[in-house]
Structure 1
Amino acid sequence: MTLDELLAATDFEDLVSSTKRAFRPLSPLIDITNNPLDALTILVNLTEKGITNKNLMDRTRCKEKLRDDKWWAAVLKTAQYRHSHNVKFPDIRSTGTIRTAAPDNLPAYFITSSKLPNIGWSYSKDSSDINRCLFFTSEFLWAGQACCLAKALADSEHPLWKALKKLGCYENTKKQAVKALSQIANELTDVDLTGNYLSQVSFPDGQDSYLSFSPIASQAMQCFVYQSLEQHHRQTALMSFDRAPNMGLLAASCGGRLRLIETKPYIKDKRHQCISKQANWLTKEAIRAMEQYLRSEQWLATPIKKLRHMTTVKSDIRAMINRWLTTVTKTDVLSPTALAEQLNNDIASIRIVEKYAYQPRLTRLFIQLIESDIENNSSKEERKPAATSQYLLIPELRICGGSAMSSSVSVGLFSMMSLYGFIHAFERNVHRVLTSFTIDSFAICIHNYHLEKRGLTKEAIKKTKANKDEKEKIAPPAIYDDWQFDSCISLIIKTPESKTISTDKIVALLPKRFARGSIWLPIDDIQNIATFPEPFTAIQAIKNPLGTWLSFEADLSLTSTDSLVGIAVNRRNLWLTGMGYQYLEPPTVKPDSLRDYPHAFVENILGYVKSQPVSRATNLDDLFWCYQVKPFGVCLLPRSIK
């Protein structure tokens, strides 16, 4: 929309509100190319507090301000506090200035502000200057390009200077303004960690040390998400903030009510696994081989052909036994006779093959093949995972009051990085009793998930009297909105080596915090902690049949916030969440960084996680997550994505 079209379609009574809305960071850019005089008049007069509809287009008022040195000093001060990333979100006590573009080096299935235009860089510093900042920091279209006066007027030859001179600006004022604006760096990171309220988190750097990160909200991402959610109320979650002007112009322009993308797949009645009791060791070939072996005395064939066929039949039965042995624990303790009895018991429990159980000829063959297998170690390769790795099951952990805000623009599932933080904290705790313990990867099953908007309301307090004659006043309560979740999850942790840790120690070493909430294991579920030689048996050992496993949706191309919202609308089985952190700067040593680790300001990487049940055909590499250090930052991805 052009400014002329806006003015023609706006009633006189709504002039101030309409123009403020048109120039706010959360609205599509308005084109002022054909009417720069009216645009500049509006921007100059909007810096006045309490401007009326009658005075908004008053060029006399505009001229007075353009010739006032104090007015120029006040508005020029705000030009240096344009932010690409707002350090005051969500804590308005934080201070600093960040003006930088995130590098565009992400895969197609991830998105940050690096894939968005560099607009929405609005003011954030002092609430008393929230009106004065409109002149230099409001963005618009000029000759088809996104622009703001803080950048445009740094060029002394820019056509907008001619318009300002027509409105009454002095040449000397122009020179001083150009000099001041040209000294403002296009990119700047000026944030002191000392005495600041910025949060810091630490993650491994892949080289036996750690990095400290401060996640910062991208104003461009918040701006475009707000616009993309305009017509999608079901996918919109509101986040309200008191004292929005203290947070900045972007929050103030929507009354402190920011829109976030909400995703919440339905998992209440879903079963997390459909693994058949007829395990993969019992195949059609194995059933046919047992049938033929029992009828071998009736074969009509030459001795040579009979011998060849018997070799094939025994080979199929041997392969079945090898597969079955991989599902059995304590094979070294049990004798071949006991193992054959257990195999007969498993066969008898399956209806379609129960007639083959406890057949004397087959039982003797089972014992013979099991003895041969143990002696010759013929099944070494198939049982290798059981000998070299193990899967630790920690079932039905309860989480209460965890943060459901995975980023500054997404609500729903907890951040996947908070999940890794819990896993890594558990690994560090285990190192106290077992220094060689390492975690290769892990899988998570969510049994239930409750999302709710909760907030902390500070109690009303009495204001102190300035004068004795004044009446006591009560300050209104401050509200801090928050989205939280309660959940029940099960974890399967893969370790590269078989290690024995007692159940009591595992419970004692579990971290007590998860995503800023509390996490614990009920007493009744402590006995269900166990280790397994292969993942399918661990999955089947989870007593709660309901839930879903988390996997990553890599077959997506996230190029804009419209694509983000479109996927949330059309694919209800996906969760949008934080998958990692992208560097806004190289990690460097800074004063007061967390534990003196190299520190970097980072932006949340967003991606989609899908819910998936497990069957025998499931690729387990899609379910097991591992931490990865990339050139663009750190992230959590399944093993199937390299």
Structure 2
Amino acid sequence: MHLRELLDNAVLTERDNALRRGFAPYCPDLDVTGEEYTSLVVLLNLTLKRDQMGDLCDEHQAHQLLLDDNHLARCVGTVRWQHSHNLKYPDSRVSGQRLIMDPPPKIPGVVTSAGLEPKLGWAHNSADINLAKLFGTSFRHLGVTTNLALQLRQQVSVWLEAFVRLGMSSTAINELQAQLSHALAAECIPLAVSPYSKQVRFIYQHDYCAITPVVSHALLASLQALIYQTRCPHLSLEHAHPASLGSLVGAVGGKIAVLHYPPPVSHATHRGFSQSRAQRLAEAKSLFDQSVLYDRIFMDALDHLISPPGPTRRQRKQQRLSALRYLRRQLAVWLGPIIEWRDEVQQDLAQVEKLLPESLERKILMVQQSAMLELCLEVAARFHLELQSHPVGRRYAYHPDLMGPIKTQLRWLLTKLAQPRDATVAQFREQRCYLHFSGLRVYDAVALANPYLCGLPSLSALVGFTHDYERRLSALLQRKVQVDGVAWYLRNYQLSSAKLLPEPSKPVSPREVTAIRTPGVIDSRYCDLGMDLVLELRFPEDGTAPTIEEQTLLQAAFPSRFAGGCLHPPSLYEGKSWCNCYTNQGELFNAVSRLPRTGCWVYPYRSEINDLKGMFAALEADCRLRPVSTGYVLLEEPTARAGSLEGHHAYAESAIGLALCVNPVEMRLSGMAHFFADGFWHMREANRAILMQCASNMENTHGAMQAPEL
């Protein structure tokens, strides 16, 4: 939007409100090309509080402010606190530091501030937040994002003429330019790490390195604008004293919007016993998962199968293939409850035969595994009947263009289910074994994975867990243990609305013995998790798997923290074997493929996205995708710095990537090879980036991931 469009509004109140929004950092930058003089007038008047200013276009008031040496000097003094990355967010106790650095390099598959136009924010003394608007407000001029301080330092003639027109002498302008050039630095990095800045340890170039995650002003501002424009899933963090956190937080009243993409796990953690399911059948209720019929994307897929959109034959073919894949996945979800029940009742078929009436569900439960394909026609007929009972789906039931595709996809699924699973094939490689931790619970884990995203905890938590386990287990076994990959299954997820109080750490009076009080609350989001972990262990020294005596120590080395929360294995009174060691891939897959369908596996996802719009497009194209915090991209090479937890320290941006949330039924039908090839995470560091990626085939990290066959 151009400034002239806002100035044409004749209603004073509406025009002033529109101008304040237009120059606010949470809105797209306003184009001021050709309106430099008016822009200078508005920016000068914005340095006053709202109750002190009647009209933002008042030239007389702007003239007085410009010639007020004291007022102008205070505005110039705020320039030295402009930043590219806000060190005061979210903890305003960080003081006397600012960070101006170039954006990190572009890395395919993750979103950072790379590729965004450089944009400066401001954060310092909250009393000066309005004064900082004169030289710190971002706008577009000649197609480039900039601010008034940068324009004057570059000696852009149209802005010098605007100052002269408003009454400033050439000598005063030259002195102002010198002051701004001195205050603005091409690069500014603190010499010491503030005790209030967060630090996380990682292994970088074979040594420990402390990393301080910092928030990019350009990325956070772009995210606010996109969230308010597209209304994508989000929630707001409420920060007390927003002016202390900077110009952006102050402009939104302390309510920073962050993406909110929780994992697709069911809120119902328990689906009932066989008796209750039999009772549903006795009441003529279906046991198939009818939630797929309420999926808008599923109905769109059926539409595409009837009449594929696209102007070219190739585009129509691609749309049809995509719709067939989605149809197959949703049919697998529809069959999920019966397949899950079949796994439960295989041990006691006689009891099921007494409980169940004659029905298709009973046939699926009782039929031999090799004869599953014989039920294809009956299963297809049941699906069309349930589709017919749905108010929106009834027009697709028994459609001649859908009869063939539905039958074909059901035949494929039943063929996969009929295949025997041989637990004796696919032995592990030498020097390796796998651990399956089941039924784990995490309380008060940090759901705010990074300053831009809430949902799945940061994938860096997996690295912290595995590294802690490596150290503990190596010490107990007295030999080297290495974790080469970790697979993550979520049983349940519950976001908490409570705010956790920090530990008391601040004395009431620093000069005498007094009580210790709690510091201010920094808003965040927390969640409770139920999960399973599968760890791939390697013993590089002697290559022997743990002996029976050593396996008793596998539980003793179990950590007690995960993603900032308390990690608990199943209680003793539950009597569960929650730590199992496997030396055979088939046995492990047979165990993990039967996990409840109400959860999901979190798989790595290879993509080429590197900006927010590309990420939103990918999320809209595949509902299984979730944005996740995949690691950090360093803004500098690690260096020695005072206050660091380690010998080397670096400032870094949090990286946003994508993960694939795979339904357990889909994971099972995709097969064992797909699970071991694409289901494990591992952290890699390269090109000044520390990122979680797929544990297998890491040399091809930039290739686009093909959609799974299911």
User: What TM-score does the superposition give when structure 2 sets the normalisation length?
Assistant: 0.69
Counterpart mapping for 1:256-405 below 5 A: 256-268=254-266, 352=370, 385=428, 387-405=430-448
> Following TM superposition, by how much is the alpha carbon of 1:97 offset from its aligned partner in structure 2, in angstroms?
0.7
Q: Which residue is equivalent to 1:187?
A: 186
Identity percentage of aligned residues: 23
The reply to whether residue 552 of structure 1 matches residue 604 of structure 2 is yes
Gap regions ≥5 residues in structure 2: 270-366, 372-423, 509-518, 540-544, 700-710
Contact 1:507 1:521 in 2 (8 A): no
Match of 2:353 in 1: none
* Correspondence for 1:229: 227
* 2:425–2:586 CA contact under 8 A, matched in 1: no
Say which SS state the counterpart of residue 190 (structure 1) adopts.
coil
Per mean C-alpha deviation after superposition, the further-off stretch among 179-188 and 244-253 is: 179-188
CA contact (8 A) 2:496 2:527 kept: yes
Counterpart position of 2:104 = 103
In the other structure, the counterpart of 1:290 is none
| Of 430-439 and 512-521, the range deviating more from structure 2 | 430-439
Contact 2:134 2:148 in 1 (8 A): yes
**1:188/1:570 CA distance change after superposition, 3 Å:** same
Partner amino acid for 1:98? L
- Partners of 1:245 and 1:251 within 8 A in 2: yes
Corresponding residue of 2:526: 484
Structure 2 residue matching 1:551: 3-state secondary structure: strand
Per the TM alignment, residue 170 of structure 1 is displaced from its structure 2 partner at its CA by 2.0
Alignment of structure 1 residues 451-470 onto 2, 5 Å = 451-456=495-500
2:649 paired with 1:599: yes
Q: Where do residues 236-255 of structure 1 align in structure 2 (5 Å cutoff)?
A: 236-255=234-253
Question: Any conservation in 2 of the 1:112–1:605 contact (CA below 8 Å)?
Answer: yes
Tell me, yes or no, if the aligned pair for 2:45 and 2:62 is still in contact at 8 Å.
yes
Assess if the C-alpha contact under 8 Å between 1:406 and 1:578 holds in 2: yes
CA distance in 2, matches of 1:5, 1:449: 47
- Secondary structure, in 3 states, of the residue corresponding to 1:204? strand
Instruction: Give 1:375's aligned residue.
Output: none
Q: What corresponds to 1:413 in structure 2?
A: 456
User: Which of 563, 568, 582 does residue 633 from structure 2 map onto?
Assistant: 582
**Number of corresponding residues:** 517
SS of equivalent residue, structure 1 residue 38 = helix
Q: What is residue 516 of structure 1 aligned with on the other side? A: 564
Mapped partners of 2:602, 2:261: distance in 1: 14
Partner of 2:682: 626
CA contact (8 A) 1:10 1:18 kept: no
Question: What is the match of residue 47 of structure 2?
Answer: 47
- Which residue matches 1:281? none
What RMSD over aligned residues (CA atoms) do the two structures have, in Å? 2.7
User: Aligned ranges for residues 30-41 of structure 1 at < 5 Å?
Assistant: 30-41=30-41
The one-letter code sitting in structure 1 at the alignment partner of 2:456 is L
CA–CA distance in structure 1, aligned partners of residues 106 and 46 of structure 2: 39
**Are positions 1:215 and 2:266 aligned together?**
no
Q: Which amino acid aligns with 1:530?
A: N
Q: What do residues 192-237 of structure 1 show as CA deviations (whole Å, max 9, x unaligned)?
A: 5455300111011242x21110001111111111111124445111
**Superposition deviation, residue 270 in structure 1:** 11
Instruction: Give CA-to-partner distance per residue, 1:392-436, whole Å, 9 cap, x none.
Output: 111121011111111111111111011211111111111221231
* Distance apart, 1:526 and its partner CA: 5.4
Structure 1: tracts of 5 or more residues without a match: 272-348, 354-380, 465-476
Change beyond 3 A, Cα 1:167–1:192 = same
Q: In 2 relative to 1, CA 60–392 (structure 1 residues): closer, same or farther, beyond 3 Å?
A: same
Q: Distance in 1 between matches of 2:35 and 2:618?
A: 39
Residue equivalent to 1:440: 484
Q: What is the Cα deviation at residue 103 of structure 1? A: 2.8
Inter-partner Cα distance in structure 1 for 2:683 and 2:194: 31
Q: How far is the alpha carbon of 1:439 from its aligned partner?
A: 1.2
Deviation at 1:605, TM superposition (A): 1.1
Q: Give the 3-state SS of the residue equivalent to 2:146 in structure 1.
A: strand
Structure ID, larger Rg: 1
Please tell me whether the aligned partners of residues 26 and 224 of structure 1 are also in contact (alpha carbons under 8 angstroms): yes
In structure 2, the CA distance between the partners of 1:553 and 1:531, relative to structure 1 (3 Å rule), is same
**Structure-2 change in CA distance of 1:228 and 1:159 (3 Å):** same
Q: Render the CA deviation track for 1:134-179: whole Å, top value 9, x for unaligned.
A: 0000011222222201100113353201111110112222111111
1:39 corresponds to which letter in structure 2?
S
Q: Residue 456 of structure 1: CA displacement?
A: 4.0
Specify the SS of the correspondent of 1:212.
strand
Alpha-carbon separation, structure 2, partners of 1:530 and 1:479: 41
- Return closer, same or farther for 1:525/1:4 CA change in 2, 3 Å cut-off: farther
Task: Confirm or deny: 8 A CA contact 1:453 1:482 kept in the other structure.
Answer: no
Residue identity matched to 2:18: S
User: How far apart in 2 are the matches of 1:204 and 1:575?
Assistant: 27
Q: Aligned partners of 1:423, 1:570: CA distance in 2, in Å?
A: 33
Shift of 1:40: 0.6
TM-score (norm 1): 0.76
Q: Which secondary structure state, in structure 2, belongs to the residue aligned with residue 99 of structure 1? A: coil
Query: Which residue identity lines up with residue 537 of structure 1 in the other structure?
Result: E
CA distance in 2, matches of 1:104, 1:551: 25
Cα distance in 2 between the residues matched to 1:622 and 1:126: 49
Question: Displacement of 1:115 after TM fit?
Answer: 2.5
